[in-house]
Structure 1
Amino acid sequence: MGNKAPLLIMLLILCHGVSMTMAMWEAEDKSNGPSTKDKKLFLLQNSKRVVKTDAGEMRVLESRGGRILERRLHVGFITMEPSSLFVPQYLDSTLIIFVLTGEAKVGFMYENELEESELKKGDVYQIPAGSAFYLSNIGEGQKLHIICSIDPSESLGIGIFQSFYIGGGAPVSVFSGFEPQILESAFNVSGSELSKFFTRKHEGPIVHVGHSHASASSIWTKFLQLKEDEKLHHMKKMIQDQEEDDVEEEVKQKTSWSWRKLLESVFGNEIENIKKDKVAHKSPRSCNLYDRKPDFKNSYGWSVALDGSDYSPLKSSGVGIYHVNLKPGSMMTPHVNPRATEYGIVIRGSGRIQIVFPNGTNAMDTHIKQGDVFFVPRYFAFFQIASSNEPLDFFGFTTSAQKNKPQFLVGATSLMKSMMGPELAAAFGVSEDSMQNILNAQQESVIVPTPWTAPGL
């Protein structure tokens, strides 16, 4: 009896842990509405549109999951029309952006310098919390689609995240909260000059900037669309364009006060840096997910991942990135993420995902299609399989910037294959020969064919 007591205690602890896990999820379910047999526990469905204008929109799916998640991420979708600008702002949350389609220019403050980068399809870029930035669609005649992760752990707790706009009218600039006398002293200009500037109206956070869309936002966009070595040269011309409806003498007075003072107050030493034509860029560049060789590839699909060792900004955010492509009918075998929660966005095709609770019961088994967002808590076993008639293509984030090293439970290089021996056979109650026959039957690893795999693969 003495030898069995420790085992009994361990069994009770294990059962208690499983029951606590189930209880937490049940409580989460009840808070979200009545329970249903096919409830999609691990799909993000709480969508909020945080920005909407004629020039574009931003939608965010808020992450839930209660205490079982060691860390939450929200998933955002930004869509911008051709020749549009997401106006200068800073956020209380770090953004990691991924260009799904189109081309973009991003500029943000890095160590008191304005750094600009042009991004293309597949590029990944991090914008730290509190860093002033802007985003513009520079693709010729095409929409820009961006997927981003948003870290709510840094947020002030006002909604999903909080934007602080620099340029303003509508949305209101952060400058608007200061007394006029304070701004006059800070900018060293008259109140009439400042009031003309800060009362100009915008069409919202995302604005058109093309010639066919004459808007007040041109004050910012004309400047931001220039090359760095052209900005200083065109500064006075910009002011003349802006004030062309004023009398000539008033325009001359306006040019003397300075856009330069305003821009220096917002963008630090950027104007001085323009003069230093050969200054080396210190800020991290973008990293293209599709320029990398897949971490795994066979006849049935491929997967690729980015971590902090591949793209250093991910180290500070503690977020990893991955992309998986499954050919029709192919399956990513049951596996576990031992280091991170995984968030996935279906960007093409459709398929199925199943997630299992720690006690071996079904947590979710559902069809997924383009636009769906799922998450898988750390340690939970799961698999994905593409539909028989189309591929399943999904991109996503993980809550660790270290190499995730998923543990595949089935396949030629699986955890079970590595552990094959008398102990594993005894655990399943079969002979070692029977166990070897079962585990040696699958010749493929990670991504495998199924009876529904498209012919010819």
Structure 2
Amino acid sequence: MARKLVAAAVAVAVAAFFLLAVSGAAELHGGVRAPLLMTKESRRSVVSTDAGSITSVDVNDDSRARGSYHLEFITMEPSSLFLPVLLHADMLFYVHTGKGRVYTSVREDHEKERVEHMDVERGDVSVVEKGSVFYVQSRPSPAEESLQIHLIFVTVDDEGNSEKASNEAYSIIGDLVHGFTAKILQKGFGVSEETIQAIKRVEKPPLIIPFLHNNEMMETHTWIRRITSNTHDELANKNKKNKNKKFNFFKAKPDVENCNGWSTILTHKDLKALKSSHIEAFMVNLSKGSMTGPHWNPSASEIAIVIHGQGMVQVVCPNKAPSETYQCKETNFRVEEGDVVAVPRHRPMSHMSYNNGSLVLVGFSSITRKNLQWLAGKNSLLQTIDQEILALALNVPKSIVKDLMRSQSEPIILDCTSCAEKLEEKMEEEEVYEA
């Protein structure tokens, strides 16, 4: 139980840290500033076709000069194909809506590679290692909703530290072939000039294309054949095999759950593929009128995507001292579905749901030290300070400190009726005053 509570505390703390920003800015080393919030509308368009679309955003890390994370959001219509790419960084993906099949290359030894596939649905999360081939097929049924997958690419060094993540998180396989001259390709593949010219003459397709045959669904497509031909034992073996390849947040037992919501953190103990990827993930679901306890992360920057609802976030500066280069200020802001939030280390915060709806977010980060720190509750950092010293630090009587430090049994997900509404009112009043 104790391990579960600690894991859950990490999950929610990580989660909260990801929700940081609608109008604020984060200070980086040397006084450089970068946005905390990337709204859904601010994403860059990468691909837009009738078969689907891709948008992207880069997220800055507070310990690097440039972005350390690259996120892409894939939307695929039923019966479409995301063409093969070669990954340049470890990638963690989360299935937001729909169903599909993910294909990845697996190296069996130093010479031979093969392709494996995995059927995915809403709530699934998995990892694909850099150097792998990756492509996706959406379920071939007009009745299905679109397949939406969120991707995050993280580059790490040998010691597990986050490096700069390239905007070119992958190479399109078609581009790799088309990039060489005809002569090089002819000699490399040992084929005729006509074969190479047949490849060179055609236009490169967009990254997402319809997967149709004579304008109709391919009834004999491998997807259908494999599903209908599998016996009960084959399906059981496949499910057992895939158990260590993916994890579903909505089917797993939460690490912490009460009337105010639940949280789950995903580590390599739950998904073996995470062990070598230096990435972990979490999900937090706040019920109506709830909040996460105030906390901060002293060692890692993290990212979160709001996947449902709306909420308010309050962020404070870890240092009030005036400085020409230190430009941090307290920030209150509203977040909503589709927003991406990047939270730098050291920034204390809490996030809240409104009284009329829940707030759900899924988060990702590179793995560093798991030493999230809580401001309140039984795990509070303030509990380590002598109460008389703490009273002097707060400039209040010791009796006030004793009352303050009466620990809550669970400082993770708490009731906070109307907290979001009141914080929004305060934010609007401040905006009017500043105007």
TM-score higher than 0.5 here?
yes
Where does 1:295-310 land on structure 2 (aligned, <5 Å)?
Answer: 295-310=255-270
Query: Following TM superposition, by how much is the alpha carbon of 1:207 offset from its aligned partner in structure 2, in angstroms?
Result: 0.6
Quick one: which amino acid aligns to residue 104 of structure 1? G
Bigger shift: residues 98-107 or 183-192: 183-192
Q: C-alpha distance in 1, partners of 2:271/2:386?
A: 37
Matched with 2:365 is: 398
Q: Structure 2 vs 1, CA of residues 189 and 103 (structure 1 numbering), >3 Å: closer, same or farther?
A: same
Give the fraction of aligned pairs with identical amino acids, expressed as a percent. 29
Q: Structure 2 vs 1, CA of residues 321 and 69 (structure 1 numbering), >3 Å: closer, same or farther?
A: farther
Contact 2:100 2:136 in 1 (8 A): yes
Matched with 2:210 is: 208
Any idea what the Cα deviations from partners look like across 1:338-380, whole Å, max 9, x if unmatched? 3421211111111111222221463421111111111211222
Where does 1:196-235 land on structure 2 (aligned, <5 Å)?
Answer: 196-197=198-199, 199-201=201-203, 203-211=205-213, 213=215, 227=226
Query: Following TM superposition, by how much is the alpha carbon of 1:424 offset from its aligned partner in structure 2, in angstroms?
Result: 2.9
Q: C-alpha distance in 1, partners of 2:90/2:31?
A: 30
Q: Structure 2 vs 1, CA of residues 102 and 358 (structure 1 numbering), >3 Å: closer, same or farther?
A: same
Q: C-alpha distance in 2, partners of 1:214/1:77?
A: 27
Query: Following TM superposition, by how much is the alpha carbon of 1:417 offset from its aligned partner in structure 2, in angstroms?
Result: 4.5
Task: Specify the SS of the correspondent of 1:440.
Answer: coil
Any idea what the Cα deviations from partners look like across 1:21-52, whole Å, max 9, x if unmatched? 997579434xx7xxxxxxxx411255211222
Matched with 1:345 is: 305
Task: Specify the SS of the correspondent of 1:210.
Answer: coil
Q: Which has the higher contact order (CA 8 A, sep 6+)?
A: 2
Question: 327, 338, 347: which is aligned to 1:380?
Answer: 347
Contact 1:314 1:401 in 2 (8 A): no
Matched with 2:32 is: 28
Contact 1:68 1:377 in 2 (8 A): no
Bigger shift: residues 77-86 or 285-294: 285-294
Q: Structure 2 vs 1, CA of residues 65 and 175 (structure 1 numbering), >3 Å: closer, same or farther?
A: closer
Question: 423, 446, 450: which is aligned to 2:412?
Answer: 446
Any idea what the Cα deviations from partners look like across 1:69-97, whole Å, max 9, x if unmatched? 89722222111111111111213232211
Query: Following TM superposition, by how much is the alpha carbon of 1:412 offset from its aligned partner in structure 2, in angstroms?
Result: 4.7
Contact 1:343 1:398 in 2 (8 A): yes
Q: C-alpha distance in 2, partners of 1:309/1:28?
A: 37
Contact 1:308 1:401 in 2 (8 A): no
Matched with 2:117 is: 116
Question: 410, 414, 432: which is aligned to 2:376?
Answer: 410
Matched with 2:288 is: 328
Q: C-alpha distance in 2, partners of 1:410/1:60?
A: 36
Residue 360 (structure 2) pairs with residue 366 (structure 1):
no
Contact 1:110 1:283 in 2 (8 A): no
Quick one: which amino acid aligns to residue 56 of structure 2? V
Q: C-alpha distance in 2, partners of 1:90/1:226?
A: 27
Q: C-alpha distance in 1, partners of 2:348/2:381?
A: 13
Q: C-alpha distance in 2, partners of 1:379/1:117?
A: 38
Q: C-alpha distance in 1, partners of 2:398/2:69?
A: 44
Contact 2:309 2:360 in 1 (8 A): yes
Q: C-alpha distance in 2, partners of 1:429/1:344?
A: 36
Matched with 1:165 is: 172
Q: C-alpha distance in 1, partners of 2:201/2:344?
A: 48
Q: C-alpha distance in 1, partners of 2:119/2:46?
A: 25
Any idea what the Cα deviations from partners look like across 1:194-213, whole Å, max 9, x if unmatched? 43355445641101113464
Matched with 1:148 is: 151
Contact 1:345 1:371 in 2 (8 A): yes
Contact 1:156 1:162 in 2 (8 A): no
Task: Specify the SS of the correspondent of 1:175.
Answer: helix
Task: Specify the SS of the correspondent of 1:196.
Answer: helix
Where does 1:274-289 land on structure 2 (aligned, <5 Å)?
Answer: 285-289=245-249
Any idea what the Cα deviations from partners look like across 1:221-272, whole Å, max 9, x if unmatched? 9678864999xxxxxxxxxxxxxxxxxxxxxxxxxxxxxxxxxxxxxxxxxx
Residue 38 (structure 2) pairs with residue 44 (structure 1):
yes
Quick one: which amino acid aligns to residue 261 of structure 2? G
Any idea what the Cα deviations from partners look like across 1:416-435, whole Å, max 9, x if unmatched? 34657444334334444332
**Unpaired segments ≥5 residues, structure 2:** 1-24, 108-112, 230-236, 321-327, 421-435
Bigger shift: residues 131-140 or 113-122: 131-140
Contact 1:344 1:394 in 2 (8 A): yes
Q: C-alpha distance in 2, partners of 1:202/1:44?
A: 31
Q: C-alpha distance in 1, partners of 2:278/2:128?
A: 13
Q: CA RMSD in A?
A: 3.8
Q: Structure 2 vs 1, CA of residues 212 and 387 (structure 1 numbering), >3 Å: closer, same or farther?
A: farther
Query: Following TM superposition, by how much is the alpha carbon of 1:322 offset from its aligned partner in structure 2, in angstroms?
Result: 0.8
Query: Following TM superposition, by how much is the alpha carbon of 1:174 offset from its aligned partner in structure 2, in angstroms?
Result: 1.8
Matched with 2:178 is: 176
Matched with 2:85 is: 89
Q: C-alpha distance in 1, partners of 2:166/2:365?
A: 22
**Unpaired segments ≥5 residues, structure 1:** 1-20, 33-40, 231-276
Q: C-alpha distance in 1, partners of 2:368/2:267?
A: 5
Query: Following TM superposition, by how much is the alpha carbon of 1:314 offset from its aligned partner in structure 2, in angstroms?
Result: 2.2
Q: Structure 2 vs 1, CA of residues 421 and 161 (structure 1 numbering), >3 Å: closer, same or farther?
A: same
Residue 60 (structure 2) pairs with residue 58 (structure 1):
no
Quick one: which amino acid aligns to residue 74 of structure 1? H
Q: Structure 2 vs 1, CA of residues 347 and 110 (structure 1 numbering), >3 Å: closer, same or farther?
A: same
Contact 1:352 1:368 in 2 (8 A): yes
Q: C-alpha distance in 2, partners of 1:309/1:69?
A: 33
Bigger shift: residues 194-203 or 327-336: 194-203
Task: Specify the SS of the correspondent of 2:32.
Answer: helix
Query: Following TM superposition, by how much is the alpha carbon of 1:183 offset from its aligned partner in structure 2, in angstroms?
Result: 3.4
Contact 2:70 2:166 in 1 (8 A): no
